[in-house]
Structure 1
């Protein structure tokens, strides 16, 4: 399968905003507007696709409309990139209506996370490099209040600079969006000791693939789930949402990957910082992960690293699905070992 890479973004490019899942912009327009303002401040022009501000109940009833906006954004030569407004819970319903030919013949930067994982993972299986990263309302709306380090990182990441700093602090979620004074605010920062290697040493390489734990569960058993051979030599990344699934549920989900034979094919397993978990809960979750991967399935040589800066956490990395990376477990570093973008 030929890997199709988008061109990197430049200041002055036009970004299409889509709402492929929940109609959050219609519910909290002030949060949405702040996200758009921050994207414009970074030098981008914005075009809102018809679904972007459609009322949430109407949007829910029209998966075809949501898919049409994705197809049209890829087809429009004036649009350089596509960013999700927000996540949700039912974007899997739009997958049958996506136009594979249009999308693959017009590769573009496409980014989101949470429920947007349905799109990033499917399009990556088709051969397109996609990006797991901030959405307009959850990530960009808070950009101006983020640390200077993260502001610099995200601005560079949007313009094609690929690196993965270890941030010294993180935030879990945002103050109540229904209160106008909370626009752009983050919860207080929490100091972190960085990633935790549960098992493995040295360096491994593999192509990034993954997304939100709960959303991936919605795809298991469908035609949109990867074939058994797809998992070979992947660096699989998984993270949990604000629903804060229990350690038992995460155990069940991981066990299912084990039963499918996924662990023995991977080059590494990367777990994002569990949203709203305390330090004690994170430590217990680490034990759960090891008990499944190592003890239940005997994969004691599979590198496993947790508490990483991606997914439902601020700040969060921008991860390009499909790109070969090197994971150094001894010095922790993650590096792309091939160009992420098309240079032609």
Structure 2
């Protein structure tokens, strides 16, 4: 692909748009929502601009995907907005895609970040050349940040204070889930678990490629549509995949990868990264690793570098993974790093 289009880096005082392009839960779990806004304001010094979709009635939001898309179009068009951050995910944001003004967004690049269902938008803009960011959402990530001292430094390193290269490292602790959002202060998380590190499943040579990926179930929504990348768009890519809180069975990942292999998607990949799966037992995680290696062998990709149990996706804290940014994995040194800044 051509040189990616990087948005300007963020700084204190920047105005950030909060949008609800999937479902709006600000009124359902107000304490969690306000905790996320508080992190943006007090920790990062950003000025929050709440766009109309964050307060849509759920029924109106569902019936009017074009109204949710308009928030994205308006935020990209506003020269005073430096970043757009998703309130939270959902399951139907694919309905927004026909209504997005992608060409205008390319002319006015800015940080766009979220994960889970937001992957539909992240991938769509990334295909047009923008660097987009798979990372914390307001209610799932930023709200919980006070529990994870390393997360603030990571976000700053990727979005605020970029260096020519950036090395990822495992967070020392992680949580699988949150206490009931209806009965908590807003920032609370589940039991902290010690990191068990990354798992290098196969591949002996270093690999380079531009990152591209997201939530595997959400990416499945896009397959077969005009919004799904052609096979050659996956060439020289490092594909990253993660599973949602719905805990898809290992067989779903098996079928997804096999379908991708038949479609030619796996042929040109440089590497495959797999996020720590939420709600999986240790045995299920081990089974997932085994199945991934098995399916890749069916398509002659025993050479493909594969690393699993990485710190992105639906467990916390999660990394920011920038689509379209050049990265490198070294199985001997056991390193994963960005080779260029994600922001300008």
Give 1:59 shift: 0.8
Give 1:141 shift: 0.5
Q: Deviations over 1:29-74 (max 9, x none)?
A: 2211110001101211100011112122211111011110000000
- Is residue 170–residue 195 contact of structure 2 (8 Å, CA) maintained in 1? no
Structure 2 residue aligned with 1:24: 25
The answer to whether structure 1 residue 195 and structure 2 residue 198 are counterparts is yes
- Is residue 17–residue 83 contact of structure 1 (8 Å, CA) maintained in 2? yes
- Report the CA distance shift for 1:152/1:339 in structure 2 as closer, same or farther (over 3 A): closer
Structure 1 residue aligned with 2:147: 145
Give 1:129 shift: 0.6
Structure 1 residue aligned with 2:106: 104
Structure 2 residue aligned with 1:156: 157
Give 1:212 shift: 0.1
The TM-score normalised by the length of structure 2 is 0.96
Give 1:2 shift: 4.9
The answer to whether structure 1 residue 209 and structure 2 residue 180 are counterparts is no
Give 1:17 shift: 0.3
Give 1:189 shift: 1.2
State the distance in 2 between where 1:276 and 1:16 align: 31
Structure 1 counterpart SS, 2:119 = helix
Runs of 4+ in 1 over 4 A off after TM superposition: none
| Structure 2, unpaired ranges of 5+ | none
Give 1:154 shift: 2.8
Give 1:284 shift: 1.1
Give 1:182 shift: 4.4
RMSD: 1.2
Structure 1 counterpart SS, 2:26 = helix
State the distance in 2 between where 1:2 and 1:155 align: 23
State the distance in 1 between where 2:194 and 2:205 align: 27
Structure 1 counterpart SS, 2:244 = coil
State the distance in 1 between where 2:314 and 2:263 align: 26
- Is residue 26–residue 56 contact of structure 1 (8 Å, CA) maintained in 2? no
2:118 to 116, 119, 126: 116
Structure 2 residue aligned with 1:299: 301
| Structure 1, unpaired ranges of 5+ | none
Structure 1 counterpart SS, 2:328 = strand
Structure 2 residue aligned with 1:250: 253
State the distance in 2 between where 1:2 and 1:169 align: 36
The answer to whether structure 1 residue 39 and structure 2 residue 43 are counterparts is no
Q: Deviations over 1:257-280 (max 9, x none)?
A: 111122221000000001111111
Q: Deviations over 1:163-195 (max 9, x none)?
A: 42212221112111111x242111111122211
- Report the CA distance shift for 1:324/1:2 in structure 2 as closer, same or farther (over 3 A): closer
Structure 1 counterpart SS, 2:181 = coil
The answer to whether structure 1 residue 339 and structure 2 residue 341 are counterparts is yes
Structure 1 residue aligned with 2:280: 277
- Is residue 23–residue 56 contact of structure 1 (8 Å, CA) maintained in 2? yes
State the distance in 2 between where 1:80 and 1:25 align: 22
Aligned length: 339
Structure 1 residue aligned with 2:316: 314
Give 1:89 shift: 0.2
2:182 to 175, 178, 186: 178
Give 1:319 shift: 0.9
Structure 1 residue aligned with 2:87: 85
Give 1:335 shift: 1.5
- Is residue 176–residue 182 contact of structure 1 (8 Å, CA) maintained in 2? no
Structure 1 residue aligned with 2:233: 230
Structure 1 counterpart SS, 2:54 = coil
2:127 to 120, 125, 128: 125
The TM-score normalised by the length of structure 1 is 0.96
Structure 2 counterpart SS, 1:210 = strand
Give 1:137 shift: 0.1
Q: Which moved more, 1:166-175 or 1:127-136?
A: 166-175
Q: Which moved more, 1:209-218 or 1:161-170?
A: 161-170
